[in-house]
Amino acid sequence: MILQWLNQLFQHQYKGVDFMANTLLLKAYEIGYITKEQREKAERYKKETGVNDETAVREMKLMSEDMVLDVYVVIYSYPKEQEPEIPDDNFTKQFTYKQLTRYSFIPVKDGNSVKIMTSQPAELLYAEDLIRDVTGFKGNFKYSLITQSVFNSLISELFKETGGNVDTSELEELGDEFSSANIYDISESDSSVVVNLVNKILREAVENKISDIHFEPQETGLYVRFREDGTLKKQYILPMNVSRQLVNRIKTMSNLDVNNNKIIQDGNARLDTFGKVVDLRVSVIPAVNGENLVIRILDQNKMSFDVSMLGFSSDNEEKFLKLIKRPQGIILLTGPTGSGKSTSLYAALSALNTDDRCIITFEDPVEYRIPGIVQVQINPAMDVTFPQALKSGLRQDIEVALVGEIRDEETASIAFDAANTGHMVFSTLHTNSAASSILRLVKMGIEPYVVSRTLVAVINQRLAKRICPYCKTEYMLEPDSPYRKVLNCGDAPVKLYRGTGCKKCNDEGYKGRVAIQEFLVFNDEIGDLLDRGATTYEIEQAAIRNGMKKIHQDGIEKALAGITTLDEIHRTVFFDDI
């Protein structure tokens, strides 16, 4: 089906549109709606959060909705909708709320054609086949553009008979007890429906290997979004009158104060589902329309802390396994939040976890439990800080220590002292490259000579989506593809791979994630440069001479090997040449 969409994409409505050269951010910059600095900041925000261009623009408030629409008119050459309304007929009502909001389009009958109004034209490749499948329509299509606010208003009008912004069929997918009548008749004393609703949402998330659930109160309803393989996706919109009770149910499960909705709260809960127990980390923050609640799902059962599963190249894996077995020193993992640093560190500890070795971790929070390892939960309220815990832990006859994060000079100093006194230490830093981490340590107060004699290696990594193995197919890189400049391949034929979409991957073309990395091994040349006050660039060039591949190069090699796609590498690390 995806192949059909792609054929339509290039043969009909999208003919002549170069998507890589016409992203919302790039085109907005070219026509002067945003500055170069705003674009670069937005690209960084996208990498850190996994959102798309439009979401980044909206959340960063870079442009108004009308400005976004102007940019889309330039990119797609579709007209603005002059009369955004839904005719009083049954054609549009054949579609469910979820079908229309997932791809942000509204189809209306227009004579012998179907006009598709959309606020997100990049999603239109899904529209024609969906319309044909639902209605049996075999004619031609027209397209017009509307703002997101207009789209929301039309959706509200379309589904007003089933409770504002909620399509009852979407609630019924959660179970019969969530019919429109039940969901709207919840009283303050009748919590059974809310309890079951929360349980079903949590079970659905666990079953689909979701990492985070967002409950976001908006004016039009309570948005429920799932983060899957690093990407946030809208799942449901529930009526606002159930929002307070749903949030309070989760707060009760997490031992939080349900009587106070004006403060920031963090808690934990455990869920017994599908015969296994998963941990939930809950964060609540007061927002304009109510409490915003996010659940991080920590499924102890699905995690496999195996170095071979991290995505290292064969050379880097061999190097990693050799370096972690050193008797002393420090190895750092760097990258933004959600880049898999903790998973890589847990894999290192698991490889070292033998009966003749004592290992202790200091974490905030402890996310996954590893049998045979002592894990310490940092708790500043009880004076269990990283420095205090690390000082005490070093008196516990240990060989290996993991410090969840080096956040300040004191923690850095103690960690390096430990690594200089017969301990192997692992930790993380929030930096954008392996080379910059070295200078970051110096800025934190660690003397260059201490770094030189103690630091073993720095691994900078990101997570990219894997191509779905069930629908993976090969193709030849197009002659005019902007990626040819990145690959430096000229006109040579290049074989690449992508997922066409299937039931196994929910038609996404991706399933799971793989780490892409740059692996800097500290050596005498880098130490000499550090002593002379070298720049990040000079250190990076020395590391490359010593065999380090920059992170985008590792990503390119994984794309050429059919593990991921160039689009995904560009999204993750951003090719400057495009």
Domain residue spans in the chain?
2-158, 162-298, 307-573
Secondary structure of residue 329 in the 3-state scheme: strand
Question: Following DSSP, what letter does each residue of 55-73 receive, concatenated?
Answer: HHHHHHT-S-HHHHHHHHH
Return the CATH class of domain 162-298: alpha beta
pLDDT of res. 83? 78
Kindly report whether the global pTM for this prediction surpasses the value 0.85.
Answer: no
Contacts 24+ apart (CB under 8 A), 307-315: 307/347, 307/348, 307/350, 307/351, 309/347, 310/340, 310/343, 310/344, 310/347, 310/515, 311/514, 311/515, 311/516, 311/517, 311/558, 311/563, 312/515, 312/517, 312/519, 313/549, 313/554, 313/557
Specify the fold of 307-573: Rossmann fold (3.40.50)
- Bridge-based pairing state of the strands 359-363 and 400-403: parallel
pLDDT of res. 180? 41
Between helix 36-49 and helix 53-60 the angle, nearest 10°, is 110
The residues of the chain scoring below 50 in pLDDT are 1-21, 161-190
pLDDT of res. 304? 65
Secondary structure of residue 305 in the 3-state scheme: coil
pLDDT of res. 347? 92
CA–CA dist 126, 95 (Å, integer) = 14
